[in-house]
Structure 1
């Protein structure tokens, strides 16, 4: 009964997930916004590793892991992020809370599992002000704001055709709206100008994975993984309006629609390049695990013609992740904290995005706890991440953040045959 109430509550929360403001980062101004963490709390707290799989947890980033599921699992995660934004002259603190994922996974046959769910893919949310002086000595103020995001509905299946070898695929449908606005005003001029742009986005992508997990000396397991997220060719239907407004009342004076068809910008493709991840790990089942991953993405192929931002270039991206877990004694009856799973990791992301000639990289340290709920396999997962992104050089912003994650992983058994005595 408790599980049914929790699931119903999470479904109600999910209705607001599409409308949530997913970020307040100034770097969401570029690309299609901030690409969100798409792993569960359990994976995120091991530095974002995707290669580990077990029988009671969903792995959202590695579909081959579904072949290991032995119980139906409901999972959901929320996060709260505290930001400190700093440039060369000033500092600001702010925060944001989000629903990160809502998913279900279940075994459908021996060594075959499937799942589906909803999660954010990317988020836009920024407010920037730039003040310069024109040739007449008048102050010119540009205010840039953005909002919206791309969400994802996915379905996954994983199976084990050969002992210790698992294959999986995830098909995702991405959809959402991104809104951008630029307002310019000049000192002692009565009217300002407005440039509003909107992109309605949809499209598919596929994520393939292969896991090979042989047992060594009947005690240890070697984890190897290859994950390939194919290029997402998103289609954007664009609208742009230009006009003027009164600086006194704030009302629009004259706004006209731009003829985007003339420049072939009404419907455009947003190319998100293929990303490949290689993973290697080692561990003892239900006791400990250590792993590492390397990811590569030819982000120099990224393209979003409609925005036409001038001060950014895209290069090939790569990332490194290290992490693991430790369980003192999962069978312990005398001490609760002996059954707790302790996780930790670190990651370094070279985003491939260069703004004002400076590379925008992201470094994070993660740690967390997986706490059993009662005598079941269900657990409550808490996670923490300390990170830093960007730089104060070249008139840019450095983000320091503390991220707090809370995730639920609830287990049940489906397809049981009922017996009547």
Structure 2
């Protein structure tokens, strides 16, 4: 069997595994806004948390379109993610597991080292939560007149289909443009199970199902300045990169179904409310990074990103209490000898990083922060590789936010470099 066929069947197996999982682990923190953002990181980025400033030759530069010009070969990448989350509260301790396809992306040079284009499909946000808790109905005097069981659940999220292009302006300066089509449904269900009353002899269920569909375009600009041969260090490189994603206005339609049903499922009352031609406003964001490295041997870097969600609007409503979010990362990667023939271990690339992030929402009127440790490695096979990354962390804390969530994520993917779409020249 040829090498290309082996890689093809391997990629097919990776996608099949992702389809078996099919859903991310549940998290109560996905209830806010349009869900939890996935970001644009590929597995090699997840390993050390970097990607805005650090150029890559053997991996697709997805986080900053200006870095695409460093992909002088055609590159195809597919990745999956599996995760475990544990949510702890004063009286609750819930664990959930899940996984899904993380991305399918590819890039190929239009003019090697001058112009490179990329297309891809990957999640943009995720919504997946479910709560159940007891509650009471009280009369004007405060006396309990009925008991009920409340349930809240949500599912869905947005997907992005993107097209990016990177262009080299000078030996040191590159720029890029990303165009993404965002689309997807989000469904939230709120229900109360009420006991029998004098007017209703049997228990019944009151529910509100809220279905929202969104679609629209989002654009981003990237830049990179990369300086080789620093003084007498001919093989060292200093790079600075930045990305600005413009605000997006997504066309939005919403259907609310309010129903009262018996426990047997018979509808007692139902009302449908349809809203069309509404808008969801997603605020712009900015990322900046700097990295320093030696050839293909090692690199270290730090990045910072910020997004102000106070301008977020959904179906014409205001920011729903959202504020500013930010993320800062410190990380690096190391390869003993990328060209070593006598030792496979020396050609393995290892990555390590740490990330501190503040989310735009409040829990118990307090800011929610996330601290995570990243680790990853790539196993080379010719010009291609199998890529792994792990991330463990915790966000929120019970003292300030009532609940805290610990998580462990495992990323696995394949990177294939070849000369597809490149016209070969013969002397």
* Same fold (TM > 0.5): yes
Deviation (angstroms), 1:418? 6.2
Give the match for residue 211 of structure 1.
Answer: 224
Give the match for residue 272 of structure 1.
Answer: 282
Matched, 1:178 2:181: no
Contact 2:193 2:205 in 1 (8 A): yes
Contact 2:52 2:242 in 1 (8 A): no
Change (3 A) 1:382 1:9: closer
Change (3 A) 1:396 1:129: farther
Matched, 1:381 2:381: no
Change (3 A) 1:246 1:308: farther
Deviation (angstroms), 1:345? 0.4
Instruction: Give the Cα–Cα distance (whole angstroms) in 2 for the partners of residues 202 and 23 of structure 1.
Output: 24
Change (3 A) 1:160 1:14: farther
SS in 1 for 2:158: strand
* 1:18-69 per-position Cα deviation (integer Å, ceiling 9, x unaligned): x943341111111111111321100111124432112221021111111111
* Superposed counterparts of 1:395-406, under 5 Å: 396-406=402-412
SS in 2 for 1:194: strand
Change (3 A) 1:50 1:331: same
Deviation (angstroms), 1:417? 2.5
SS in 2 for 1:219: strand
Instruction: Give the Cα–Cα distance (whole angstroms) in 2 for the partners of residues 378 and 103 of structure 1.
Output: 15
Give the match for residue 347 of structure 2.
Answer: 339
Instruction: Give the Cα–Cα distance (whole angstroms) in 2 for the partners of residues 369 and 219 of structure 1.
Output: 23
Deviation (angstroms), 1:88? 0.9
SS in 1 for 2:314: coil
Give the match for residue 137 of structure 2.
Answer: 134
Change (3 A) 1:54 1:46: same
Of 247, 265, 277, which residue of structure 2 is paired with 1:250?
Answer: 265
Give the match for residue 95 of structure 1.
Answer: 97
How many positions carry a matched residue from both structures?
Answer: 410
Contact 1:75 1:408 in 2 (8 A): yes
Instruction: Give the Cα–Cα distance (whole angstroms) in 2 for the partners of residues 129 and 395 of structure 1.
Output: 19
Give the match for residue 326 of structure 2.
Answer: 318
Give the match for residue 116 of structure 1.
Answer: 119
CA RMSD of aligned residues (A): 2.4
Instruction: Give the Cα–Cα distance (whole angstroms) in 2 for the partners of residues 246 and 391 of structure 1.
Output: 39
Change (3 A) 1:313 1:62: same
Give the match for residue 330 of structure 1.
Answer: 338
Give the match for residue 4 of structure 2.
Answer: 3
Deviation (angstroms), 1:297? 1.0
Give the match for residue 304 of structure 2.
Answer: 294
Contact 1:326 1:342 in 2 (8 A): yes
Deviation (angstroms), 1:405? 0.6
Of 388, 392, 397, which residue of structure 2 is paired with 1:391?
Answer: 397
Of 350, 353, 357, which residue of structure 1 is paired with 2:358?
Answer: 350
Instruction: Give the Cα–Cα distance (whole angstroms) in 2 for the partners of residues 123 and 4 of structure 1.
Output: 33
Of 412, 416, 422, which residue of structure 2 is paired with 1:410?
Answer: 416
Instruction: Give the Cα–Cα distance (whole angstroms) in 2 for the partners of residues 8 and 233 of structure 1.
Output: 40
SS in 1 for 2:215: strand
Contact 1:21 1:148 in 2 (8 A): no
* 1:63-118 per-position Cα deviation (integer Å, ceiling 9, x unaligned): 11111111111101111101111111121222111111001111110321111010
Q: What 5-or-longer segments of structure 2 have no aligned partner? A: 198-202
Deviation (angstroms), 1:334? 1.9
Instruction: Give the Cα–Cα distance (whole angstroms) in 1 for the partners of residues 318 and 425 of structure 2.
Output: 62
Deviation (angstroms), 1:307? 8.0
Contact 1:297 1:317 in 2 (8 A): yes
Change (3 A) 1:5 1:333: closer
Give the match for residue 81 of structure 1.
Answer: 83
Deviation (angstroms), 1:8? 6.9
Give the match for residue 200 of structure 2.
Answer: none
Deviation (angstroms), 1:342? 0.7
Instruction: Give the Cα–Cα distance (whole angstroms) in 1 for the partners of residues 376 and 342 of structure 2.
Output: 22
Q: What 5-or-longer segments of structure 1 have no aligned partner? A: none
Change (3 A) 1:368 1:395: closer
Instruction: Give the Cα–Cα distance (whole angstroms) in 1 for the partners of residues 62 and 326 of structure 2.
Output: 20
Instruction: Give the Cα–Cα distance (whole angstroms) in 2 for the partners of residues 380 and 10 of structure 1.
Output: 10
Instruction: Give the Cα–Cα distance (whole angstroms) in 2 for the partners of residues 302 and 308 of structure 1.
Output: 6
Deviation (angstroms), 1:7? 4.2
Stretch moving more, 126-135 or 277-286: 126-135
Change (3 A) 1:129 1:48: farther
Give the match for residue 237 of structure 2.
Answer: 221
